[in-house]
Amino acid sequence: MADNRIRIGIFGGSGYGGSELLRILLGHPNAEVAFVTANEQAGKAVGDVHRNLYGLTDLRFSSPPNNLVGLKDIDCTFLALPHGQAMEIAPRLPANVKVIDLSGDFRLRDKDEFEQHYGREHTAMEAQSEFVYGLTETNREAIKNARLISNPGCFATATILGLAPLVANNLINGRVVVDAKTGSSGSGAKAAANTHHPQRMNSFYAYKPFTHQQVPEIEQELRTVGHWTDELVFMTHSLPVARGIFASIYVEARDELSAEELKRVFSAYYRDSVFVRLVEGSPDINWVKTTNFCDIGWATRGKQLVIFSALDNLVKGAAGQAVQNMNLMFGLCEKTGLGLIGTNP
């Protein structure tokens, strides 16, 4: 890593995740984007495809390099590709290159669970065993020493951050119900029948009931946080907004907990986590849009708790968290390049 600048390659830069990676990394004081790939946009200027970046970079999209073994002058690669593609690339990259995968290819440690929830064969389970799960706030020390990172899903990030303090302190007794909602950008940049704006702007509906691919990811990681054996009911809904995830998490506690006691539990657990903000009452996705913050609030009634978790699905739920993990992997301050302030309104 020459001159303290991390030479970066981005695979898959034309989608929303790639766009956000570029937005963050172009302003990162220790990063230098060496190349960014895109199949359909190869040859085009980044600023012509992502108009918010117009005039900010001379980068052009390129086709993916054929000789992955030859990328030894790259320090870090981000794989911002559709599910199924990273498993073809990651095992072929040089051993000196750090990898952060934003897809679901390496999140699940169980091959059968992956194939059931993602509907495809996993062809790189040997490589999967070397990947570290990249939820920074619960896995910080392992991330610091990792070469391969599997970035969490956006729903998983919101849900695990909302539940981790309760699981770690063994406060849950019984079923947990998660009612989670997401904006349309979570479906990617290409329009589809159920994500097309005229269809979605005045609509509200549930999707993938009981079958969302991030359910096993959430349960897998909660078992690493503490004693997790409770039933998880997880429902996802489409919000008529472009960005943001909001999760309402309903929990029955072992004992009665006041709002003040719950605040002490969350404050202690996240005392070293600059990107988790604890708010009074309910957070709002408007407060976290375009930032790397996850805002968490709560309400209590005896043993009944509800935890509210809000984040930007493209930043803390994807690209921002990926850069947060990169910072740790290269010994930088966790918040380097991520001083992203939201807007009002």
Active-site amino acid positions: 154
Please choose, from the candidates 35, 28, 38, the residue with its C-alpha nearest in 3D space to the C-alpha of residue 9: 35
CA angle 232, 237, 239 (to 5 degrees): 145
Query: Using an 8 Å Cβ cutoff, are 216 and 117 in contact?
Result: yes
Burial annotation 201-212 (CB, 10 A radius, 16+ → b, else e): eeeeeeeeeeeb
Closest CA to 306 of 209, 146, 166, 203: 166
Contact predicate 89/79, CB 8 Å: yes
Residue 137 near residue 296, CB atoms below 8 Å: no
Please state, as a whole number, how many other Cβ atoms lie within 10 Å of the Cβ of residue 135: 24
Instruction: Give CA angle at 242 (149, 16), nearest 5°.
Output: 40
Joined tokens for residue 331: 């010994």
CB-CB contact of 18 with 100 (8 Å): no
The three-class DSSP label of residue 161 is helix
Helix (H, G, I), strand (E, B) or coil at 125: helix
Which strands sit side by side in the sheet containing 76-79, from one edge to the other?
A: 61-62, 31-37, 6-11, 76-79, 98-101, 148-150, 132-133
Report whether 93 contacts 99 (CB < 8 A).
yes
DSSP for residue 281: S
CA–CA distances in Å: residue 313 to residues 153, 166, 178, 198, 321: 9, 23, 17, 21, 10
Distance CA 180, CA 245 (A): 7
